[in-house]
Structure 1
Amino acid sequence: MIQTRRIQFIIFCLLIISMQVLVNLEALTTNSGDYGVLVSLKEEWENLPPSWDGSDPCGDPWEGIDCNDNSRVISIKLSSMNLKGELSGDIEGLSELQILDLSYNKGLTGSLPQSIGSLKSLSILILVGCGFSGLIPDTIGSLSQLNFLALNINNFIGPIPASVGNLSKLSWLDLADNRLSGPLPISHGSTPGLDMLVHAKHFHLGRNQFSGEIPDQLFSSNMTLKHLLLEQNKLTGKIPPTLGLVQTLEVVRLDRNSLDGSIPSTLKNLTLTSELFLSNNEFTGPLPNLAGMNDLNYLDMSNNTFSSDDFPRWLSTLQSLTTLVMENTQLQGEIPPTLFSLVQLQTVRLRGNKINGTLDVASNYSSQLKLIDLQNNSIDSFTVRPGYPFQTILMHNPVCYEGSEDYCGVVPKNFGYSTPQDNCHRTQCSSDQIPSPTCKCAYPYTGDLFFRAPSFSDLTNTSIYESLQKSMISSLSRYQELVDSISLSNPEKNSDDYLVLRLQVFPFGQDHFNRTGITTLGFALSNQTFKPPPNFGPFFFNGESYIHFEGGSTGSHKSISKGIIIGAAAAGAILLILSIVVGVLACQKKRAQEAVKKSDPFATWDSVKDSGDVPQLKGVKCFTFEELKKYTNNFSASNYIGSGGYGKVYRGTLPDGQLVAIKRAEQASKQGALEFKTEIEILSRFHHKNVVSLVGFCFRQGEQMLVYEYIPNGSLKEALSGKSGIMLDWKKRLRIALGAARGLQYLHDHVDPPIIHRDIKSNNILLDEHLNAKVGDFGLSKTMNEPDKGYVSTQVKGTMGYMDPEYYTTQQLTEKSDVYSFGVVMLELITARSPIVKGKYIVKEMKQAMDKSKDMYNIGNFVDPAIPSNITPISFRKFVDLALTCLEEAGDNRPTMGEVVKEIENIMEIDGVNSSVESRSTSVSHEGTSGTFDHPYSEESLMRHSGGTNSGKRTNSSPGASQQP
């Protein structure tokens, strides 16, 4: 009865409002269809400008909305507004929309609707730095007027839609920094492809997961491409010779892939190219002769295996060269002194080669020269004029074996820049305000500028930042009375060789921007209205949401606006109003039910006797069986990615596009409910880049499933065995060791109470898309509930070959037990061998063979042949020393994981590696019971365990185990 009266009352109110609306609709100037779409967007989004409460988007303008003379919406610009929600499919109704810019709103999530392809007038679509996910809809190829498409810095997955090839007017294509995969699409038959975009100037496709070969057909002499950016993908095969046909190219980045073979000679036809990045691939054959590329400023071909009889003389002919980086490329011979006389030369980095003879920089050198880094070569003498102004690093060359000159050590030079303040009176700002270069306290618009291929490498030259600042001020001056000044600060090169600068834009005439000012600035930076000086190359901006609007809100609030909204939606139709009422009530009921579920997210926890209380989880979702069944396509064979003692592992895709690895326990491996609950409670506490994250779990319908983040490159075990096809050179192995060590240090030192992993092995160290190491599989982990005690008394569990003998014999588990296991993993990184092979224990074998008087400790026969021959002896020896220290019999003699991390960082510094960058088979597990134990690695014990017996009841495989399709 009460519910019926409530419905009657709402209907009466709506009838009154609709009558009022019919009277006021004539005052609405905005096209009614467009108005309805904006209302739909308003319902989907949070944190919209207050002016959106107004009655007429075109007549009484809503901030971020532009209309034409016919009161049709032609532009939506709402960058950096902190919007949250999804993009409604109703947007297809804006048939005259030309510009859509929602950049720098990380709270905008979900998939792009297929209906976006109906915006036939759209010429600019910019969604940079949002949280969109899922597939890019193929209907995007229907946007026939599209000129500018920027979807970078999102979470899109899947392939590039081939339909993009239909965008004949497209000039700018930026899909970088997503998780896109598959081959680069090319046309065949009636199917379009990227090769059809002959008018495009920019292909920015870096930092994705594209695979396969770069097609020959992709390039032609008809193309007008300026920027080809494909760095940090998984591309294989050779560089197609047809690349040399695109003679308009100015920047080419193919670095950080798995390209191989010889570099085609046609590359020298790219005479307008100023930046060429080919590093970190698998190129072989002779160095290409690039003589004639007279505009080439920046050349990086590092970490490839070229063949060269002598130092290439053609390098000295590149008159525009500022930066030469060819580390670990097998270069040999003497460097001709003429190289250093190139007038624009700033940096020469040739570490890890076979360069010999005399380094002669005495005759002549560029006035701009700042650095010569020739570490790890065979140079036996150095000739230079006294008082030379550039830095030279010759560590690990014969010239330094008995010398202590400055050039025989690494001299770190930290450079910090910030736009200086004018000659003005400095004032004391409040804690949340920032002084501008003109000494005014204000709330600037901030973000980071990323320059993907600058032509210079000398970051200490302040004039380059001054030129950028002047250029930016000049560009933004078109917006009168908007910008007072700008500040640039903290220049640095990141791991992708991008130049990153912090940008702050200060408001004119007041201490804050209004919303129109922010959307204007955001659009100027997102659609490349601002053009930096040519030597900075292609860039993108990643802005932050602006929250410092006056009073938190501006704009008008109309008392009749809600009536008009309802009227526009209902159009005066009584039946429609009734439908809305019923829908609202049903929706309210559904939302109330959902609210109850959210308030008790573990209400579905099985109420069995041994399940304990509802688990106390942090940021972990309880999935239903039906959900995981759907996400894995009914646990289909196509989504099966591996197995272990725990059960099978499946790849799944969540509704937001996130890939996950789902471990489904088999009947024999299922734990008790209390043990399972304890495990997920432990896992939910981990939040570190080197520890696999738990996304959720399922404990329904007799199932025990753990849902982890998907780690695409499988386990370290697979990489070392060659199963995954990943090539690990010495530097990559050092980075992996450091990442795993940091993950363990986090568990020991930063989780409260500390966690002992208890099953560290190469199978439980996973490698993500960038080969960053992540520690996984915590099925045997123990919490140090009494850290002052120093150990946990527990039954012996773990994996033979990795298990700490002290723990085995005493049943006292300590953090040093993980250190021992990590030491075994370090030996695996050196040897690529399993710890126990045919009854022989690698630790014992290496200790017996070791002779520290020899250069490589006399263990060269144990070293994995896949490690390059130019490994630095000193770093190798220090790595072995550290491993053996971790493998001390007594735990007290082993280092802590924090000490291990520091030592690996020191080793990496010796090798010139930046430490700030960032299975189908299972090992035999052992579970003991209380009693007397022999040493686990005695000859008798090894023979017993190598015979194939497994006294453990389960072997856990990593959440991403064998994650190769």
Structure 2
Amino acid sequence: MRNEGDGAIYWKYVGRVLSNNKLNGTLDIGNSYSNNLTVDLQNNSISDFTQKASYNMVLKLVGNPICQGNGATERYCTIQKSNPSYITPTNSCTAVVCRSDRILSPNCKCAYPYTGTLHFFSFSFSNLENSSYFRTLAESLMSAFQSNQLLVDSVSLSDPTVDVYSYLQFRLQIFPSALDHFNRTGISTVGFLLTNSFPIPNYGSYSFKEESYCCFAGAKKPSNTGINVGAVVGSFVLVLFILGAGFYAFHQKREAKRAVQQSNPFANWDRDESSGGVPQLKGARWFSFEELRKCTNNFAEVNAVGSGGYGKVYRGTIASDQLVAIKRARQGSLPDALQFKTEIELLSRIHHKNVVSLVGFCYEQGEQMLVYEYIPNGTLKDALSGKSGFQLNWMRRLRIALDSAKGLAYMHELANPPIIHRDIKSTNILLDDCLNAKVADFGLSKLMEDTSKNYVSTQVKGTMGYMDPEYYTTQQLSEKSDVYSFGIVLLELVTARAPIERGKYIVVVVKNAIANLTDQYYIHDILDPTLGPSAKLGGLKKFVELAMRCVKDSSSERPTMGEVVREIENIMQLASSNKNFETEFTSSSYEGSSDGSKAFDYSGGL
């Protein structure tokens, strides 16, 4: 056993405690060590002692065979009682031999100390050779224990080291007062005080890592049965907690997903090229499938008001008691995703009295539904054919033409960017309860995003009989393509004939009728008989001439929709000044038809 000088500080200030370690043989002090060294070798089996130089050290050999009759070591074999000390004492106490693994305290009492390690993170001193810092630490600990009225007799600090993280640490032993052991309350209060890190001058913040206490008075070893039962109960509670947490997380995830879908119903929109990307909507409301199912009484046939190639249209009442028309795609023949998206986008940004308003839409559970304002008197085609149950006089037909033209002019000239409808026809012009006309069905519409060109190159789509022949041959869609289709609608208003009837094209039929005028009645042979003699129809000739200009083969020769609006307004003034002007409505059955119970083919070419 030699001290070769390493760890001099370690030995010098708090002493090296090697008691109760069963060390035996000869103790050789050597000649290389620091002064004032304290070494505690009590209760070992050391039988001899040698020295090679004079030294000044405190050596404790009490309880070793060497202390039996060897006068040379007598001063190391007695313990003299001294004043209380908080660091392992440098002086000796009266000879005391501790038994039953109790440890001698600095106040020379055998007791079971409460032990642990103090770790200091930011001590402010660098001179570790100054023992006053260590004494200050011990005094601060005792002062804290006494001020909190804890039954602590003394403390012993040993093994000061600086670890690889530059943290200073001590092994701390806290000895009880009055008894030779702490009770559970005493350990709890001492531990609580240390773990709450009261301030200690020069040492800064610290942590205390306790060791288990061995010796509670009257403590009984817990039975394995209690431990096992506690483990089972704890495991069961843990499993229940994990299951509950998992269920809660799943529920929250589902609610979050539902909230996202309501705020952004197109979160799962197919983003491939065919769908054209997520729709950009302005004010359209999202409806759940369940909402629309309830408001139509599970899509009952009694609420069906129209049908077409697209599917069926149902009448329903939403929460605000507003009547709506719900256009539902037929299962198995869902429309192109791009067409569905286009109609939603366009209608959500268009707000004009002569354009059908989009209330909302549904896009879930494999359904594609559009919710429009309810237009009770069906389509212009139904009204011209008599299917709606009322007749339209000449002035009302002019009003319908003007309303439709205003709706289209708004789309061409005021919408930003301009919109080309691409499917203007009499089945896409609807009549409200006052027989005002509204343009509907925007599934084929296109935006004029590049206003530097007057056309859009696109695949040909539309309805035969209404389609612009120039667009058909060049695949260049322009606003004048809508003008051509509207010209066909104007001819329908005059003749009540379909665009293609018995293989004859309405444009050719009207051209021939104009070329073969033989009597005083203008185009009498092709005029809708319900209008009466052409002589009574003020502005008829100008109206037909306007229609024929709209259906010119070359788009450059056609008027704009703004010009069409002004022409129709002039014709209406001419018609109203006609002495033969008739009353606005000519059908006694009109009032009964305004409830919408008549045919409501929302879009014959749906």
Give TM-score scaled by structure 2 length.
Answer: 0.51
In structure 2, the CA distance between the partners of 1:776 and 1:958, relative to structure 1 (3 Å rule), is farther
DSSP 3-state at the match of 2:539: helix
Q: For residues 775 and 651 of structure 1, what CA distance do their matches in structure 2 show?
A: 19
Work out which of the residue numbers 653, 656, 668 in structure 1 matches 2:317: 653
* Cα pair distance change 1:594/1:958, threshold 3 Å: farther
Q: Are residues 607 and 842 of structure 1, via their aligned partners in 2, closer, same or farther at CA, if it must alter by over 3 Å?
A: closer
What's the counterpart of residue 304 of structure 2? 640
* Rounded Cα–Cα distance in structure 1 between residues aligned with 2:269 and 2:484: 41
User: How many Å separate the matches in 2 of 1:759 and 1:607?
Assistant: 26
Could you tell me whether the CA contact under 8 Å between 2:423 and 2:485 is conserved in 1? yes
1:829 maps to: 493
State how far apart, in whole Å, the 1-side matches of 2:396 and 2:458 are: 36
Determine if contact 1:620/1:696 at 8 Å carries over to the other structure. Answer: yes
Instruction: State the partner residue of 1:233.
Output: none
Q: CA deviation at 1:615?
A: 2.7
Counterpart selection for 2:375 from 711, 735, 742: 711
Match of 2:354 in 1: 690
Counterpart selection for 1:602 from 264, 281, 300: 264
- Deviation of residue 869 (structure 1)? 3.2
Question: Aligned partners of 1:672 and 1:849: how far apart in 2?
Answer: 41
Residue 452 of structure 2: SS of its match in structure 1?
helix
- The one of 448, 462, 465 equivalent to 1:784 is 448
Select the residue among 900, 911, 918 that pairs with 2:564: 900
SS at match of 1:788: coil
Q: Quick one: which amino acid aligns to residue 654 of structure 1?
A: I
Query: Contact between 1:663 and 1:959, CA under 8 Å: does it hold in 2?
Result: no
Q: Does 1:627 align with 2:321?
A: no
Asked if 2 retains the 8 angstrom alpha-carbon contact of 1:621 and 1:695, the reply is yes
* Compared CA separation, residues 598 and 856, structure 1 to 2 (3 A): farther
Counterpart of 1:617 in structure 2 is 281
> Does structure 2 retain, via aligned residues, the 8 Å contact 1:777–1:958?
no
Shift of 1:856: 6.0
Distance 1:885 1:812 in 2: 20
**Secondary structure at 2:602's aligned position in 1?**
coil
* Secondary structure of the corresponding residue to residue 866 of structure 1: helix
Deviation at 1:807, TM superposition (A): 0.7
Residues 73-472 of structure 1: pairs in structure 2 closer than 5 A: none
1:760 aligns with 2:424: yes
Match of 2:506 in 1: 842
Residues 878 and 674 of structure 1, relative CA distance in 2, 3 Å threshold: closer
Could you say what the CA RMSD is over the residues aligned between the two structures, in angstroms? 2.9
1:797 alignment counterpart = 461
Are 2:397 and 1:733 aligned?
yes
Greater RCO, 1 or 2 (C-alpha within 8 Å, sep 6+): 2
Q: Could you tell me how far apart the structure 2 residues matched to 1:856 and 1:690 are?
A: 36
Secondary structure of the residue aligned to 2:319 is coil
Distance 1:748 1:688 in 2: 13
The 3-state SS of whatever aligns with 2:543 is helix
CA distance in 1 between partners of 2:402 and 2:292 (Å): 34
- Structure 1 SS opposite 2:541: helix
Residue 864 of structure 1 is matched in structure 2 by 528
1:643 shift after superposition: 0.6
Q: Measured at CA, do residues 765 and 855 of structure 1 come closer, stay the same or move farther in structure 2, by a change above 3 Å? A: farther
- Equivalent residues, number: 331
Contact 2:306 2:314 in 1 (8 A): yes
CA distance in 2, matches of 1:632, 1:679: 22
Partner AA of 2:565 in structure 1? V
Give the AA of the match of 2:264: F
Pairwise CA distance, 1:609: 4.9
Give, as a single letter, the amino acid of the residue that structure 2 aligns with 1:743.
G
Contact 1:664 1:706 in 2 (8 A): yes
- Give the 3 Å change call, closer, same or farther, for CA 701–911 of structure 1 in structure 2: same
The answer to whether the Cα contact below 8 Å between 1:759 and 1:821 also exists between their aligned partners in 2 is: yes
Task: Deviation per CA, 1:774-824: give whole Å up to 9, x if none.
Answer: 000111111111122000111111111111111111111111111111111
Answer yes or no: is 1:819 the counterpart of 2:483: yes
Q: Match for 2:494: what amino acid?
A: I
Structure 1 residue 850, shift from structure 2 partner: 1.0
CA distance in 1 between partners of 2:468 and 2:600 (Å): 20
1:35-54 mapped onto 2 (5 Å cutoff): none
For 2:500 and 2:414, how far apart are their aligned partners in 1?
Answer: 33
CA deviations 1:604-648 (Å, max 9, x no partner) are: 643545467653211201111001101111000110111111111
> Which structure has the highest helix share of the two?
2
Cα distance in 2 for partners of 1:649, 1:913 equals: 41
Residue number in structure 2 paired with 1:678: 342
Aligned to 2:602: 960
Name the CA distance, whole Å, in 2 between partners of 1:850 and 1:621: 50
Question: What code does the residue aligned with 1:837 have?
Answer: E
Alignment of 1:3-82 (within 5 A): none
Deviation per CA, 1:207-251: give whole Å up to 9, x if none: xxxxxxxxxxxxxxxxxxxxxxxxxxxxxxxxxxxxxxxxxxxxx
| 3-state DSSP of counterpart to 2:483 | helix
How many Å apart are 1:673 and its aligned residue?
Answer: 3.6
User: Is the Cα contact below 8 Å between 1:760 and 1:818 reproduced in 2?
Assistant: yes
Contact 2:266 2:279 in 1 (8 A): no
Whole-angstrom distance in 1 between the partners of 2:365 and 2:445: 26
CA distance in 1, matches of 2:503, 2:416: 39
1:911 aligns with 2:575: yes
1:862-909, CA deviations, whole angstroms, 9 ceiling, x for partnerless residues?
011111337545500010110111111100000000000000000000
Match of 2:438 in 1: 774
In the alignment, structure 1 residue 749 sits paired with structure 2 residue 413: yes
Write the deviation string for residues 167-198 of structure 1: whole angstroms up to 9, x where unpaired. Answer: xxxxxxxxxxxxxxxxxxxxxxxxxxxxxxxx
Aligned counterparts of 1:669 and 1:758: Cα–Cα separation in 2: 22
Q: Residues 906 and 674 of structure 1: is their aligned pair in 2 closer, same or farther, counting only changes over 3 Å?
A: closer
Instruction: Say if 1:648 and 1:663, in contact at 8 Å, map to a contact too.
Output: yes
Aligned in 2, Cα 1:873/1:707: closer, same or farther, shift over 3 Å? closer
Secondary structure, aligned partner of 1:821: helix
- Rounded to whole Å, the distance in 1 between the matches of 2:485 and 2:276 is 33
CA distance in 1, matches of 2:600, 2:429: 8
Question: Matches of 1:913 and 1:892 in 2, distance apart?
Answer: 33
CA distance in 1, matches of 2:437, 2:487: 16
Could you tell me whether the CA contact under 8 Å between 1:624 and 1:700 is conserved in 2?
Answer: yes
Q: CA separation in 2, counterparts of 1:777 and 1:851?
A: 36
CA 1:854 to 1:743, structure 2 compared with 1: closer, same or farther past 3 Å? farther
Change (3 A) 1:604 1:819: closer
Alignment gaps of 5+ in structure 2:
1-251, 579-583, 585-598
- Of all paired residues, the percent bearing the same amino acid is 62
Distance 1:692 1:913, change over 3 A: farther
Select which of 699, 712, 722 maps to 2:386. 722
Q: Distance in 2 between matches of 1:607 and 1:875?
A: 51
Q: 1:744 to 1:865 in 2, by over 3 A?
A: same
- Alpha carbons 1:730, 1:871 under 8 Å: kept: no
Partner Cα distance (1:817, 1:709) in 2? 27
**2:355 match: secondary structure:** coil
Deviation at 1:666, TM superposition (A): 1.4
Return the TM-score normalized by structure 1.
0.33
Amino acid paired to 1:898: G
| 8 Å CA contact retained: 1:662, 1:959 | no
Asked if 1:881 corresponds to 2:545, the answer is yes
The CA distance in 2 between the partners of 1:746 and 1:753, in whole Å, is 11
